Amino acid sequence: QLKALAIAAARAAREKTNASASEQSVAHAQLTRLLADASGVRENFDVLSWRAGDLTRYASEAGSPRRTSLQNNFNAALEAVIKNSQSTHADRLAAMVGKIRLAALDAPEVKAGETSAAPKYPAALVAQARDVVKAADTQTNDRMTRQATMSVAAFVLREVGLLDESDALLKAEVAKAIAPHYFLSDLSENAKKRGDKAAAIAYAQQAYEKGEGPATRLQWGGLYVRVLLADAPQDTARIVAATKSVLGDAQAAPDAFYERSLRSLERVGTALDQWASTDARRAALATLRTDLDRICEKIPSNDPAAASCRNAFRPKAKSAG
């Protein structure tokens, strides 16, 4: 039930629509019951923490008593996780994400020309975010655990506008991480939030270059191409070169046209299709499609991957099929 509610709430947030009065009433009652049940909170913690903002927005009107009560109930449940000595640092960070997203519902938006890259949050919330991150940083020693935990820690700092502190944390991890490309990608996101397009591209490229293995390189190469398309759309030569490199990774990856790897290629194809708005860009895309077709020709025709390959850079053909 909660999963279905979270999907509906995420869709409403994405499409900027509101739930009906009856949908709000049902959702509010469901969430109120769940948040009052400590075991229910533990069972559904991932959804409740990361989707706290969407769920609250879906189940209540801004400024209403229902909104206030739901925010209070959410914050109490999340605060209990942060204060619980048995909670992992990952759980405390996730709870912090939830508190930030709840606060974002009412936080003043940043006006044009202001330097902050996040809504203006209460000082106490920003201070708590710092404290939770510091504890996770100083008390997490296992390298595998740090890999996931520090990425979320940097995200928490980014979300409250502490981009310099987030950068410092990520840069420290890059040098010692098991998989540094994740942290380099996070640095690219920070740069993008600052409006520093050159840095966003540079970090995305480094993330791609640090990836090991065809499937990993394909995924992070696809991200690099999409950053180029968004932040340097005029640099056709660089976009083509990067995409050709990703196609080389696809050719080397045995599962390039299945599941996650295929979705990565399809996202690149969609972004390229949207980018190709001039004759020169359309010509560049045609060349890339030809390169992909050559790879597809080597796949047996009775293999489902053959059709997936042919349509990866042709989103309109895929949707028509």
Please indicate, yes or no, if residue 218 is contained in any of the structural domains.
yes
d(CA 273, CA 296): 19
Confidence of residue 97 (pLDDT cuts 50, 70, 90): very high
pLDDT digits (tens, 9 = 90+) for 10-25: 999 999 999 999 999 9
Summarize pLDDT for 41-84 with one digit per residue, the tens: 999 999 999 999 999 999 999 999 999 999 999 999 999 999 99
Query: Residue 320: is its pLDDT beyond 70?
Result: no
Give me the pLDDT at residue 1, please: 82
Q: What is the pLDDT of residue 119?
A: 73
Of 106, 57, 100, 62, nearest in space to 82 by CA: 100
% of the chain residues with pLDDT over 70: 95
Q: Does some domain include residue 247?
A: yes
- Please give, one letter per residue, the 3-state secondary structure of the chain: CHHHHHHHHHHHHHHCCCCCHHHHHHHHHHHHHHHCCHHHHHHCHHHHHHCHHHHHHHHCCCCCHHHHHHHHHHHHHHHHHHHCCCCCHHHHHHHHHHHHHHHHCCCCCCCCCCCCCCCCCCHHHHHHHHHHHHHHHHHCCCHHHHHHHHHHHHHHHHHCCCHHHHHHHHHHHHCCCCCHHHHHHHHHHHHHHHCCHHHHHHHHHHHHHHCCCHHHHHHHHHHHHHHHHHHCCCCHHHHHHHHHHHHHHHHHCCCCCCHHHHHHHHHHHHHHHHHCCCHHHHHHHHHHHHHHHHHHCCCCCCCHHHHHHHHCCCHHHHHHC
Q: What is the pLDDT of residue 107?
A: 72
pLDDT at 321: 47
Considering the domain boundaries, does residue 292 fall inside one?
yes
The structure tokens listed for 75 are 């914050």
pLDDT of residue 278: 97
Please check whether residue 282 lies inside any domain of the structure: yes
Q: How far is residue 94 from each of residues 45, 50, 78, 140, 205, measured CA to CA in Å?
A: 9, 7, 9, 15, 28
Q: Nearest CA to 244 among 267, 210, 268, 216?
A: 268
pLDDT for residue 112: 47
**Spatial contact of 150 and 189, defined as CB atoms under 8 Å apart:** no
Mean pLDDT of 238-261: 95
- Report the distance separating Cα 185 and Cα 226, nearest Å: 12
User: Is pLDDT above 90 for 191?
Assistant: yes
Cβ-based neighbour number of residue 45 at 10 Å: 18
Query: What does the pLDDT average to over 263-279?
Result: 97
pTM of the entire predicted model: 0.90
In a domain, 256, yes or no: yes
Distance of alpha carbon 86 from alpha carbon 45, whole angstroms: 14
pLDDT at res. 214: 86
- Residue 260: inside a domain, yes or no? yes
Answer yes or no: is pLDDT of 264 > 90.
yes
Q: How many domains does the chain have?
A: 1
CB 141 within 8 A of CB 172: no
Q: Residue 91 above 60 pLDDT?
A: yes
pLDDT at 113: 47
What are the tokens at 88? 């992992």
Residue 319 has pLDDT above 60, yes or no: no
Q: Does a structural domain hold residue 89?
A: no
Cβ-Cβ contacts under 8 Å for 315 (sequence gap 6 or more): 266, 269, 270, 273
Average pLDDT over residues 141-170: 96
Does residue 2 form part of some domain?
no
Domain that holds residue 225: 213-321
Query: What's phi and psi for 190, nearest 5 deg?
Result: -60, -45
What integer is the mean pLDDT of 284-309?
Answer: 96
Residue 164 pLDDT exceeds 50? yes
In the Cβ-directed half-sphere of 214, how many Cα atoms lie within 13 Å?
A: 14
